[in-house]
Chain A
């Protein structure tokens, strides 16, 4: 079972695998002991001679306790390590000079050529485009700056009987969304891309929008912002 985007599909699958292993181990142990070490009907034996007012004889094993201190520690070190790689997709620098793997901002006519490298698990692009998102109570405003209509276009569409903003993006293009808010905190969630970041008043935040597949999906607000929060939505159309 994959997550919603190749951005961290492999990571998700590995987490699910380790979860299943930990679950099998723990629940197998629990299941066995719950039914194996049980008292016979009507009996209440006193294995460790528990007695009221007497601190019981200590029952421990340093080696075992150390083992199940070390085992989860090793696992989380490994999980932290594998969580590291996809961070490069989320937090790549905005210039190739600083090590960013989406290049620099595209010059006029230059093509982004976004692609997912299966070997490295990273998205790569020759350059990226920039557009703006501003959150208002309770609608989104997109700004294509000076991008061509093919790369970025803003219009409206009807979603669930209401007029909502629509942003059209071009597939196989890396975009850097430059975002802020006009009032309170919001968070645009590009659901099909699996990314979100808060937008805050008088503060600029950014996120990489890696439009790889042709599809139309919703952008939702995922930071509670008041009355119409549930309906603060927009359409995202990624075209070929």
Chain B
């Protein structure tokens, strides 16, 4: 053969092989059986390009309509195709859309609960028998059978195959088509928005039913949009925070649906990654932070005897940045490209082309939130520094106000680092700078440092205000003054300081210097000291008290249980060796939900029941409140307690599925799937239990008993004003003066206070201007 002809034929052969490799889907055809994701769509095309009609498939043993959970013996056989040789005669793959197959002999093996195929031994037959356990749901079940009629020569040529589809009816028919999760999410968000709008309109209607028209509604809306009153802005923060608490909850429910069983197909991986990213971002930045700001706006000026915040317009700007930031953060969802980086947004993935396009808007929204939080920090610190009532020194401030001061100081000192990181990422994603471009020398660990320098204090920013709430609620409920006021303040300040030197424990497996990891292990352990002081002080406050059980008392006691459990589980992570196993598992998920839900959210619930009468002038219903506590507390623990064990046995977080042990590989035990189902059921119950609170708030707003100025017998200034308080909250010309039951120390500046006062310009002197 001529060389030219040889080269030409070789080229043609290579091209044909290349085309075949590209066109041929990933189907495995092995002596040990056929399977793979492509077989359902493309068939056994390695045996032949197209199916052969003369290969006649028979499926015996399936009923026309199945009985739920009944077992049927099913025989798959075929005739036609190449002559049967007795060795390597054929193979099959049987897939069902429901139920489970059970293998009866060595000729068949299971590929998945609802998929079986032949084994190497089964390759010598053309008839196979299995058992099918019908599903319990009663819907129609589809079956797809593929068979290979093989000539036994060991090669694929001359083989033939065919496909056979059948449906077995269920008592409930075909059922509904599965819903697109994005459609479900968008619908639920829109319904939530509509319900919120109706509630707001109803609120307007209740203010004066006789003037329910646009001419009165427009100025009413304009008043809310332009208000600078701290109480109204506080209410706006509440509305936003509760709305996004619901949205974050919806996202959590969709995540739990996906994880209710292994290998569920409710959401795709892509959607799952977006949903857990938005769940974290929403809950931290759009729900928890606004709720804190809602309480801080409402209560701090009232507690320190100030008519408003020091910078009311800045306060309004801080709020209005939030809904627009939320719109940016959610922009990607409605285009199907929601941010998919996790709330931690690790580099370099966050700047990679693989990340969703929605990440850019997500980052832009976060930058706006950084601006909002910074302005809020300036405002509250200024207010507390200059607007405290006469007689209220730093060490006479109510503990809730102290908690807001510590939280804002932490935020003020940490959030610039996050802002810098976000701007770098934004520039990398938009104008191709190279802060995190590895090829250009970018450093992914820089982002981790910037993020966690902010991220860990941020967790304390969210929990410390709850400490303040619990201090107020427990002391008032026990009819006592708080035990160890000074050590409570020092403990909060201690937490605020320690927060900045522990963040490295989030990076124990990051490749960070071992020396730094070791130092961080020591510092992280220290967190237990101030938090321990706080818990023991709360308990001692109850000693000798006279606890009056109200709903806010129940939530405060519940907080003590769940937060202590969260604190204990938190002590496992600083131990680096155990962290090497527990990092990024469900043990972590359990821990931070015990702290952030059992701590922060339970603290907020206590605060709502405690201060709602002050804010609205109406008492909440105690029976509904108790029902809310009992249902939410039990179901909450049902969600997060089992997650500890799941994490220990090897269930990773942020994954769309989980793997159960098979004959070949050890993974999670089968009972892990049962616990996941239990968790999902509890999650739905917990989600719906919180509607009792919403209903209670709405019903009480209309029909609740009128609240007195001081329904619980508290001592701080907010209980001095009417319920609800007037605007301005205190008369500028008649500001309250704090008395002190400890007269011997009242109004005596400490040594630090005296030193600080020397730095200040005396009030009777004017500053010299140059």
Inter-subunit contact A225/B349 (CB<8 Å): yes
Which residue of chain B is the closest to A35 with respect to CB atoms? Answer: B547
Q: Does A104 contact B (CB under 8 A)?
A: no
How many A-B pairs have beta carbons closer than 8 Å: the answer is 322
Check A161–B35 contact: CB distance below 8 A: yes
Contact A60 B483 (CB under 8 A): yes
Verify B438–A201 contact, CB threshold 8 A. Answer: yes
Q: Are A226 and B648 in contact (CB under 8 A)?
A: no
Complex: how many Å from CA A69 to CA B494? 12
Determine if A185 and B349 form an interchain contact, defined as CB atoms under 8 angstroms apart.
Answer: yes
A219's nearest neighbour on chain B, judged by CB, is B665
Partner of A8, one of B483, B578, B709: B578
B722 to chain A, nearest CB (A): 12
Given A47-B480, A55-B746, A203-B511, answer yes or no on A224-B654 (Cβ-Cβ < 8 Å): yes
Contact check: which of A3, A11, A72, A83 meets B532 at CB < 8 Å? Answer: A72
- Given A54-B740, A80-B522, A196-B584: A4 in contact with B543 (beta carbons within 8 A): no
Nearest B residue to A29, CB-CB:
B539
Distance of A219 from chain B, by nearest CB (Å):
10
Cα distance, A195 to B370, chains bound together (Å)? 36
In the complex, B613 has a CB within 8 A of chain A: no
B438 partner residues in chain A, CB cutoff 8 A: 201-202
- Pairwise interchain contact B736-A226, C-beta atoms closer than 8 A: no
Interface size on A, residues (CB 8 A): 99
Report the minimal beta-carbon distance from B647 to chain A, rounded to whole angstroms. Answer: 11
CB–CB A26/B713 < 8 A: no
Is B14 interfacial (CB 8 A cutoff)?
A: no
Interface pair B667/A197, CB less than 8 Å apart? no
B485 and A200 contacting across the interface, CB-CB below 8 Å: no
Q: Are A56 and B578 in contact (CB under 8 A)?
A: no
Interface set, chain B 649-701, CB cutoff 8 A to A: 649-650, 652, 654-657, 659, 662, 664-667
Q: How far is the CA of A73 from the CA of B528 in the complex (A)?
A: 8
Check if A47 sits within 8 Å of B478, measured CB to CB. Answer: yes
Tell me the chain A residues, 202-222 only, with Cβ under 8 Å from chain B: 202-203, 205, 215-218, 220, 222
Q: Is the CB of A37 within 8 A of B715?
A: no
Bound-state Cα–Cα, A228 to B354, Å: 11
A229 to B276, CA, bound (A): 13
The docked-state distance in angstroms from the alpha carbon of A225 to that of B269 is 12
A49 adjacent to chain B (CB < 8 Å): yes
Using a CB-CB cutoff of 8 Å, which residues 52-100 of chain A contact chain B? 52-61, 64-65, 68-69, 71-73, 75-77, 79-80, 83, 86-87, 89-91
Q: Find out whether the CB atom of A60 lies under 8 angstroms from the CB atom of B486.
A: yes
CA distance A219 to B648 in the complex (A): 15
Q: Which of B355, B666, B736, B739 contacts A218 (CB 8 A)?
A: B666
A73 to B272, CA, bound (A): 42
Q: Mark B359-372, 1 if CB is under 8 A from A, else 0.
A: 00000000000000
Identify B528's interface contact among A4, A76, A198, A216, CB under 8 A.
A76
The answer to whether A194 touches B581 (Cβ under 8 A) is yes
* Contact A37/B269 with A54-B739, A68-B533 known, Cβ cut-off 8 Å: no
Check A142 for interface membership: any CB of B closer than 8 A: no
Which residues of chain B in 16-37 are interfacial with respect to chain A, using CB atoms and an 8 Å cutoff?
A: 26, 28, 35-37
A83-B481 in contact (CB<8A): no
- Please give, as numbers and ranges, the residues of chain B lying within 8 Å of A231 by CB-CB distance: 269, 656-657
Find chain B residues with CB under 8 A from A83 CB.
521, 574-578
Judged by a CB distance under 8 angstroms, whether A34 is at the interface is yes
In the complex, what residues of A have CB within 8 A of residue B546's CB? Answer: 37-39, 43-45, 47
Q: Determine whether A187 belongs to the interface, using a CB cutoff of 8 Å to chain B.
A: yes
- Nearest A residue to B37 via CB reads A161
Decide if B483 touches A59 in the complex (CB within 8 Å).
yes
Chain A residues positioned under 8 Å from B709 (CB to CB) = 52
> What are the residues of chain A within 8 A of B272 when measuring CB–CB?
230
Judge whether A79 and B525 touch: CB under 8 Å: yes
A19 touches B720 (CB 8 A): no
Which among B82-90, B130-138, B317-325, B563-571 touches the partner chain?
B563-571
Q: Which residues of A contact B652 (CB under 8 A)?
A: 189, 220, 222
Residue in B445, B535, B585, B715 whose beta carbon sits within 8 Å of that of A52 in the complex = B715
- CB under 8 Å from chain A, chain B span 723-754: 736-742, 746
The reply to whether the CB of A145 lies closer than 8 angstroms to some CB of chain B is no
Whether the Cβ atoms of B111 and A58 lie closer than 8 Å is: no
Question: Cβ of A55: which chain B residues have Cβ within 8 Å of it?
Answer: 391-392, 396, 715, 738-742, 746
Q: Indicate if the CB atoms of A4 and B648 lie closer than 8 Å.
A: yes
Beyond A61-B483, A161-B37, 14 additional contacts (C-beta under 8 Å) are A23-B564, A33-B542, A37-B543, A39-B479, A47-B545, A52-B719, A53-B717, A53-B739, A54-B715, A65-B537, A72-B529, A90-B577, A194-B580, A224-B654
The 10 closest A-B pairs by CB, nearest first: A56-B481, A194-B581, A230-B655, A72-B532, A83-B575, A33-B542, A86-B577, A222-B584, A230-B656, A76-B525
